[in-house]
Amino acid sequence: MTSAQAAPAAGGTHAYPLQRHFIDGAFRESQSRRTFVSLDPATNEPLAAAAEGDAFDVDLAVGAARRAFDTTDWPRMKATDRAAVLRRVGALIRERADEFIEREVRDIGMPVAQMRGLAARAATNFEYYAGVVTELHGRSFQVGEEFLNYTIRKPVGVAGMIMPWNAPLMLSTWRIAPALAAGNTVVLKPAEWSPLTATLLAEVLADAGVPAGVFNVVHGFGETAGAALSSHAGVDLICFTGETSTGSTIIAAGAPTLKRSSVELGGKSPVLVFEDADPELAVDAALAQIFTMNGQRCTAGSRLLVHNSRYEAVVSAIAERAKRIRVGDPGDPKTELGPLIRAEHHERVVQYIDSARRQGARVLAGGRRPDGLDRGNYLEATVLADADEHMDVFREEIFGPVLVATPFADEAEAIRLANATEYGLAAYVWTNDLTRAHRVAHALDTGMCWINSQNVRDLRTPFGGVKNSGIGREGGDYAFDFYCETEIVHVALGTHAIPKLGLGDDDQETSA
């Protein structure tokens, strides 16, 4: 077993040992020996030290990934053989699920009951892509009796992955699995606020038989390690998930070396409740859609748009339930809402609530630190009613447990309000009018729409956003459009005409 556990913590006693980089099949500290400390959001006490990577460590990792791409069997082996390794990764994640769950609950404050589902999904990500890659096929094009042309899919090369802190295990495996399945090699830079599961994942991949250099992890800050990875000439693909402004910086950093990039960014997704919707289901889903994952969810239904005739009833039903949401220790199986990731993020979310209050929104639930939870970054489940479309809370991503409600008069206004942000990731439409459901879904500026449903993923379908929510689609076999090159091979069958040049006056025939 490749041990992630062996090294002692640097600079103090922490709950976990030093989280080291994983480069070329070995755990190692930074060349600079520098480390940074990750905090427990439930207490804001130090949880673990992690190696602080910089351009030097990134260069080592990219070099290892490049060598693995050029010299190991990984990109060239049969898809079924790579799939077998990925299935072992899935099985090992399930076997060690408790360790993954414990680490991520402490690292990011995700309630343990929700983290169980996310850990299972991480395993499924590998198992699912093990299946998809074995079904991957090219197209053939007959040209009469002259040609048979066909496409082949090839891995692109070294994939750099820069990931956020809000669901690190689930989100990174959702990218690592198809990248590896396609035969690429990977350098992962986890978010500096959530280093813990990436180290364990490196151990599991190695134990499952992923060859040295094929999967690498470099911990560190965005401005140093992330910037070095996104601009490195040896990286062919950049897969980024995070804030919109960071995504734009990363695309610019990759432009001089023409990196292909897939960027999944922020959201401000609307939940539209029409007068004929099933109110009970809509209320349940609206609550789940904003208050799970501590509200730190890219596809959170953070804006509730309700028809005038149902507005008061729906909004007050949601507020009453929000008041009863159990906020507390993320390690307690009964907890529904854990702490926010960092004190400064908590402060930012509270400022949004205060600004909405000053601008005339009604705080129907929450808005404060819960009684008895003096330490950690806890916030009550918050419902703000009567948000005006010009308020910051209506337009900007808060990324916390804050639902913003606004009434609408008719379908046209509902669509206009839904589209009145710079984002376009997800949308949720509640109506029992069949034709309206589809009409509205088509009119929304969104990459993904759910009708009469909360966010239930079908892994075969495309995932991604429009406008400031991202560029590109992953998920299902769409991921292989990003993680593979498509090469066309033209095969002449011996009958096509070839222009004959240089025959002087004997033959003037030319053709294109």
**Do residues 37 and 11 lie in contact, with contact meaning Cβ atoms separated by under 8 Å?**
yes
Q: One-letter amino acid identity for 41? A: P
Residue 138 has a CB neighbour count (10 Å cut-off) of 12
Rounded to an integer, what distance in angstroms lies between the CA atom of residue 76 and that of residue 55? 29
Asked if 242 touches ligand NAD (CB under 6 A), the answer is yes
Asked if 189 touches ligand NAD (CB under 6 A), the answer is yes
**Do residues 435 and 276 lie in contact, with contact meaning Cβ atoms separated by under 8 Å?**
no
Active site residue 264: yes
51 or 385, CB closer to ligand NAD? 51
Rounded to an integer, what distance in angstroms lies between the CA atom of residue 84 and that of residue 118? 22
Asked if 446 touches ligand NAD (CB under 6 A), the answer is no
Q: Which of 298, 380, 397, 449 is catalytic?
A: 298
* Interacting positions 264-323 with ligand NAD (CB under 6 A): 264-267, 298
- Residue whose token pair is 């040209």: 143
Pick one of 9, 112, 123, 171: the residue that binds ligand NAD (CB under 6 A).
Answer: 171
213 or 266, CB closer to ligand NAD? 266
Contacts 24+ apart (CB under 8 A), 90-99: 90/123, 90/124, 90/125, 90/126, 90/127, 90/130, 91/123, 91/208, 92/204, 92/207, 92/208, 93/119, 93/122, 93/123, 93/126, 93/173, 93/201, 93/204, 94/120, 94/123, 96/200, 96/204, 97/123, 99/200
In the complex, what is the shortest distance from the CB of residue 229 to ligand NAD, in angstroms, rounded to a whole number?
Answer: 7
Which range binds ligand NAD by CB under 6 A, 111-119, 201-209, 246-254, 406-414? Answer: 246-254
Asked if 344 touches ligand NAD (CB under 6 A), the answer is no
Which residue from 53, 349, 390 is spatially nearest to 198, judged by alpha carbons? 53
What is the phi/psi pair of residue 368, to 5°?
-140, 170
Asked if 230 touches ligand NAD (CB under 6 A), the answer is yes
Q: One-letter amino acid identity for 508? A: Q
**Secondary structure (DSSP) of 325-354:** --BS-TTSTT-SB---S-HHHHHHHHHHHH
Compute, in degrees rounded to 10, the torsion defined by CA atoms 188, 194, 199, 201: -70
Asked if 107 touches ligand NAD (CB under 6 A), the answer is no
In the complex, what is the shortest distance from the CB of residue 341 to ligand NAD, in angstroms, rounded to a whole number?
Answer: 8
**Do residues 384 and 404 lie in contact, with contact meaning Cβ atoms separated by under 8 Å?**
yes
Which range binds ligand NAD by CB under 6 A, 40-48, 78-86, 112-120, 219-227? Answer: 219-227
Which range binds ligand NAD by CB under 6 A, 76-84, 238-246, 346-354, 410-418? Answer: 238-246
Rounded to an integer, what distance in angstroms lies between the CA atom of residue 380 and that of residue 358? 19
Asked if 223 touches ligand NAD (CB under 6 A), the answer is yes
In the complex, what is the shortest distance from the CB of residue 164 to ligand NAD, in angstroms, rounded to a whole number?
Answer: 3
Determine the size of the site formed for ligand NAD (CB under 6 A): 32
Asked if 104 touches ligand NAD (CB under 6 A), the answer is no
Pick one of 226, 270, 295, 475: the residue that binds ligand NAD (CB under 6 A).
Answer: 226
Q: One-letter amino acid identity for 133? A: V
In the complex, what is the shortest distance from the CB of residue 91 to ligand NAD, in angstroms, rounded to a whole number?
Answer: 26
Which range binds ligand NAD by CB under 6 A, 235-243, 412-420, 429-437, 500-508? Answer: 235-243
Q: Which of 264, 380, 397, 474 is catalytic?
A: 264
Asked if 53 touches ligand NAD (CB under 6 A), the answer is no
226 or 407, CB closer to ligand NAD? 226
Asked if 338 touches ligand NAD (CB under 6 A), the answer is no
**Do residues 321 and 287 lie in contact, with contact meaning Cβ atoms separated by under 8 Å?**
yes
Which residue from 294, 293, 277, 286 is spatially nearest to 315, judged by alpha carbons? 286
Asked if 482 touches ligand NAD (CB under 6 A), the answer is no
111 or 475, CB closer to ligand NAD? 475
Asked if 175 touches ligand NAD (CB under 6 A), the answer is no
* Interacting positions 252-271 with ligand NAD (CB under 6 A): 264-267
In the complex, what is the shortest distance from the CB of residue 160 to ligand NAD, in angstroms, rounded to a whole number?
Answer: 9
Residue 323 has a CB neighbour count (10 Å cut-off) of 13
**Do residues 61 and 216 lie in contact, with contact meaning Cβ atoms separated by under 8 Å?**
yes
Task: Give catalytic residues, as residue numbers.
Answer: 264, 298
Q: Which residues bind ligand NAD (CB under 6 A)?
A: 162-166, 171, 189, 191-192, 221-223, 226-227, 230, 241-243, 246, 249-250, 264-267, 298, 397, 399, 425, 465, 469-470
